[in-house]
Amino acid sequence: MRLKRLELQGFKSFANSVSLEFGSGVTAIVGPNGSGKSNIADAMRWVLGEQSAKSLRGQRMEDIIFAGSDGRKPLGMAQVHLTLDNRSGHLPLDYSEITVSRRLYRSGESEFLINKQNCRLKDIHELFTDTGLGREGCAIIGQGQVDTVLSARSEDRRVLLEETAGIVKYRRRKEEALKKLEDTNVDVLRVTDIYGELLAQLGPLQKEAEKARLYLNLTADLRRVELDCHSLAWRALQAKKEKNEAGCRQAKKDYEAAQAHCLSLEASSAELELRISSLEEKKEEKLGEKARLRDDFNEGLHKIQLYQERQKNNEARSTQLLRLSEEKSLELAKLGKEADSWEQKLAEIEQEIAAKEKEVLKNEALTKELALNLEKTKKRVNQLKDDFFEFMRRLTERRNFQRTFQEREKAYLAQLRAAEENCAELALALKQLESERAALKNEKLAAVDTLKEILQQQKNLAEEISARTAALAEINREKNKLEARFAQLDSRLKTLKELEAGYEGYGQGVRRLMQNRQLAPLILGTVAEIITVPEGLETAFEVALGGALQNVITETEEDAKKLIDWLKSAQAGRVTFLPLANMRQRHFSKANRALLNMPGVLGTGEELLQFQEKFRPAINSLLGLTVITADLDAALALKNRLRGFSRLVARDGSVVFPTGAMTGGSLANRAGLLRRKTEIDKLAAEAADLKQEILQSEKKSSALKKQTALNNECQAELQEKLLAQKLKEQRLSERENQLKEEIARGKKALLAQKEKIEDLEAAFESLGAEQKQAAAVVLELEGEEIQHRGEIQTMEESLADLEDGLLTARDKLSSHRVELAELNGRRENLAAQKKNTAFRKAEVERFMQEAALETTELAENRQFYCRAIADIEKTNAENETARAELREKLTALQSNLAQAKEEQKAARQNLSAANKNQTSKERALYKLEIESEQLAKEEAAFLETLADEKLTLREVTEREVTEKKAALKKQREQLRRKINNLGLVNPRAAHEYDRVKERCEFLEAQLSDLKKARQDLEDVINEMDKLCRTKLLKAFEQVRQEFQRLFARLFQGGRADLVLTDPAAVLTAGIDVLAQPPGKKLQNLLLLSGGERALTAIALLFAIRKVNPTPFCVLDEIDATLDESNLGRFAQLMKEFASDTQFLVITHRQATMEVAHTLYGVTMNEEATSQIVSVALAEEV
């Protein structure tokens, strides 16, 4: 197995997708500080399962995601793919290439994959267990972590050797076995406790069956006494009912009279409200008009003050203008005299300038004439010299031509050959440029197609993002609706549950019983609590059960008696109890049951309800002979044929009794106990469904958000590709233009070379003739040389005389020009002063004109202000009169309003008293109605009780009771006391005994199996300990020997050793490291220098690698503290180990780079993201 590839995207500084290919041997990663080299080691540690953010040089795991920079936005995901070559089968997977991937989203979600298949973090840990790449191995040494091998606790170093020995998987299996052993011990203890408890129950169960027979006899006597009690109770109930009906009629009349009186008072109060409202509106209108008049009056006063102030300002301005006009008149006369003076001075200076200019012109003509002569002489001298130089050049050329004829002949031939070669090279280069141009054109067309494709992808992705955003918004809207509906349902459900928990709607006795926690063990629940009614039959069962819904169910009569005693002592009211052990069950005969299949018959109440089986005696006693029908017609049809029923109840609540009596009509629309329970169940189910829908919405929203984030990242990638493609297209265009220019230049150069060849060929042909002519020309030219030299000397002497005369004339001309410039300066100064005086004079004249106009305007303003002040004073006087009239009207309105409010106050007091009287009458009527309803429930409960006991009302009413109620109660108490003295009676005691015995035998077998399993686990643990001890000792000795050898090699002497802290307990002992560098005593590792500690740690790590070679090893700047000599030995050692292990080394040291086969450079660009540059060095090395 070897490391093949590492791919990073969004991990720390690697924002862009980066891929590193690894070959065999040593791969070095270099780069400046802060460029992101160590992030590569962190990425490998992270993808192999590192869970500590601190180990990855961060505070939180989200810190590994690219956080953005000045030039780039942050990313939402980081991912790393590590590809391994598994052709050797080193890893236990049937793949030749294995890619381990890990992703982390900024939301905190993470994914682990093996060959693109989702997996767990545990799967990755198990995959690399005992390969040297696991969590306990040191295959990746981070920056500054090499010293941790020595500074770690001795027990931690033992864990490192466990990875080397390959026993980590055994240690983990042992830990799992120990956990199973602990669970088995807990199970043994629990089963033992249950077994002992069941053994203690077997004896008492035999005694309980004997009580059942005595219990049945006492129950028959109790039934006769209770029949007499029923007769007395019916008579008392009817008397109460007649008294209540009379009270209800009178209370209703009183309430209706009070209600009519209240309505009359409310109408009067409403009329007063309208009247007061009208008066207040009129008052507000007058107050608004009054405020407007007051504002107009104040505004008039303000304008008067403003106009008066402006009048004062006008008068002051007029005075100021008069004074300034007088001053400006004096200044104007003064400026006129000053202008005349400047005019005279300018005339004088003009005369001086004219005389000076004549002298300058005269000198300029003389100087110009001298300069012209000098220039002609210079030109003649220069012409003579140029002719002489040309003469000498021709003479020299002829002389040189004679001397260098053969050399020139060879040179011509060489130039001709070179020109022909250049011509051939240029032709070949042109051909290559044309080929490159054609290829470039094709590449450019491909680039344009790719650019169009990327633009189309961007458009499609943008549409997809828009669609997903719209879908997300729609899901969020639906989710908000669902949450609002859920909150509404939850509020209603909580309210109903609070009512249910508080037993609202129950009688006082039932409510107090159920709310007393001390009595809870004796109570199994009320009838309403234990049953579940089919939807739509709530009304039928509320009528069928009536007051029996509040009956309390107990296990035995003894429990019921205790509860009755508590009710008596607490004065908490009366409650009907249903002891399950004593309830008699009643059923229809087979013939009668066949009638229940008639049309419209739904079944017996017992059959239609849902309840626990243990409550069947109670439900049967209440509803066993009660039949539920679809409507009243079906009940009447069944009544004529069915025998032995207690009542027939229709779906709408109508009742048919065996005696022929019928009850029906409308029912008050109130939520009964069963309806409330049904509503609670319905609301709970609906709330659960809504919650699931909300969860589904959240999942859909989360999935859409994740997909949108991925789409945004794809959009960013496409944008980068688009930019890269545009840059590529631009680059191709620039290269194409460059090729055009190069081809043009090449053609031009080729043409020039061909012309040069033609010129060289012509020159070579004329070279021989020129050689013969050159000899004759040289003789002639040498005679002319002396004549040229004498002529040049004569002309140079004349030139010197002309230069001296010109210099004298120029000095004189400069002096005259300076004097003329001074005179011109004086003239310009005088002209400026004259101009300034004229400007000042014009300013004064303009000011006087403006002052005259402003004086006229001020006079007109004074007249306007006087007229405006008079008009405003007149308007204010009229305003004051109108305000006085409004004050009188407001006084009258306020008086009427106060009177109306007093009347309203009295009307409200009368209405309040009437309302209190109405409320009092209403409460009295409501109390009587409640009492009537309670009596009706008691009557219905009484009739139900008779029906349950198969008694008719006639039998009860016609029964002659001779004994007093107190005597009957005493007999009933005696009988109940005897029954209670029997204690708990269990008619199923024998069945319970057999069940408990069978359970004891089963638990005994289970206990035996658990003890055997515990012994098996202990044997497995002992075997694993023995195997781990042997392997660890062997690995320790091998590492110890290699460590001693490598230490001596790296230090070139000295000695080192590994020592177990407790040889007797190898699996828990620590490992101490002893080191003695050459020339030093054996000392504590903390006293070693930084370089010595690093070299010792390297010796230990390489010793471990020697014993158990890992596929690859990552070393992050572990050579930073080594000097050059130690660095060389370390590099040589790493080079030797590279035959079995791939090394990925992050370094700044040149010696380490020299042994590398591949070199990766890491740089940081302007966007603060890391980039990779690779160089293969294997061939060069």
User: Domains (ranges, CATH) in the chain?
Assistant: 506-592+606-671 (1.20.1060.20)
CA distances, 469 to each of 594, 715, 1012, 1164 (Å): 65, 15, 62, 35
Helix ranges (DSSP H) in 1052-1181: 1090-1107, 1124-1137, 1150-1154
Which residues fall within 8 angstroms of residue 9, CB to CB, at 6 or more apart? 15, 16, 17, 18, 78, 79, 80
Residue environment code for 406-421, b if the CB has 16+ CB neighbours within 10 A, otherwise e: eebeeebeebbeebee
pLDDT: which is higher, 233 or 1176: 233
pTM of the predicted protein model? 0.37
Give the pLDDT score at 207: 65
77: left (phi over 0), alpha (psi -120 to 50) or beta: beta
Give the pLDDT score at 134: 63
Q: Per-residue pLDDT tens for 26-63?
A: 888 998 888 888 889 889 889 888 888 887 888 888 88
Bridge pairing between strands 626-629 and 1170-1176: unpaired
Give residue 590's pLDDT band: very low, low, confident or very high (50, 70, 90): confident
Q: Are 527 and 549 in contact (CB under 8 A)?
A: yes
Flag whether pLDDT at 80 surpasses 90: yes
Structure tokens that stand for 462 in this block: 């943008």
Closest CA to 217 of 947, 990, 982: 982
Flag whether pLDDT at 326 surpasses 80: no
DSSP annotation of 645: -
Q: Per-residue pLDDT tens for 217-269?
A: 777 777 777 777 777 777 777 788 788 878 887 877 887 787 777 777 777 77
At how many degrees (to 10) do helices 1090-1107 and 154-165 cross?
Answer: 30
CA angle at residue 210 from 205 to 215, to 5 degrees?
120
Give the pLDDT score at 388: 67
Flag whether pLDDT at 17 surpasses 80: yes
Flag whether pLDDT at 75 surpasses 50: yes
Give the pLDDT score at 1179: 41
Closest CA to 256 of 758, 921, 802, 855: 921
| 596 three-state secondary structure | coil
Across the range 867-872, mean pLDDT stands at 81
Give the pLDDT score at 971: 77
| 143 three-state secondary structure | coil
- Residue 118 φ/ψ, nearest 5 degrees: -60, 145
Percentage with pLDDT > 70 across the chain? 86
User: Integer distance in angstroms from the first to the last C-alpha of the chain?
Assistant: 25
Give the pLDDT score at 82: 92
Q: Are 573 and 963 in contact (CB under 8 A)?
A: no
Distance in angstroms (rounded) separating the CA atoms of residues 577 and 976: 13
Q: Per-residue pLDDT tens for 533-552?
A: 888 888 888 888 887 888 89
Structure tokens that stand for 569 in this block: 């002592």
Q: Per-residue pLDDT tens for 366-389?
A: 778 777 887 887 777 777 767 766
In the Cβ-directed half-sphere of 675, how many Cα atoms lie within 13 Å? 12
- Determine whether 514 is exposed, middle or buried from the number of CB atoms within 10 Å of its CB (0-12, 13-18, 19+): buried
Which residues fall within 8 angstroms of residue 953, CB to CB, at 6 or more apart? 234, 659, 943, 946
955: left (phi over 0), alpha (psi -120 to 50) or beta: alpha
Task: Please state the separation of Cα 199 from the chain's center in Å.
Answer: 61
Flag whether pLDDT at 815 surpasses 70: yes
Give residue 102's pLDDT band: very low, low, confident or very high (50, 70, 90): very high
Flag whether pLDDT at 844 surpasses 60: yes
Percentage with pLDDT > 90 across the chain? 3
Distance in angstroms (rounded) separating the CA atoms of residues 325 and 317: 12
**Average pLDDT of every residue of the chain:** 78
Q: Per-residue pLDDT tens for 979-1025?
A: 777 766 665 655 666 777 777 777 777 778 777 777 877 777 787 77
Element (H, E) at 26: strand 26-30
Give the pLDDT score at 1178: 47
Bridge pairing between strands 647-650 and 626-629: parallel
- Determine whether 781 is exposed, middle or buried from the number of CB atoms within 10 Å of its CB (0-12, 13-18, 19+): middle
Q: Per-residue pLDDT tens for 117-163?
A: 889 888 888 887 767 676 656 677 766 666 666 666 777 677 677 76
Give residue 915's pLDDT band: very low, low, confident or very high (50, 70, 90): confident
Give the pLDDT score at 415: 73
Flag whether pLDDT at 1158 surpasses 90: no
Q: Per-residue pLDDT tens for 633-680?
A: 888 888 888 888 888 999 888 888 887 788 888 765 445 666 777 777
Structure tokens that stand for 626 in this block: 């009660």
Distance in angstroms (rounded) separating the CA atoms of residues 661 and 647: 10
pLDDT: which is higher, 406 or 105: 105
Distance in angstroms (rounded) separating the CA atoms of residues 833 and 831: 5
Give the 3-state secondary structure percentages of the chain, helix then strand then coil, rounded to 5: 70, 10, 20
Flag whether pLDDT at 1154 surpasses 90: no
At how many degrees (to 10) do helices 168-208 and 211-403 cross?
Answer: 170
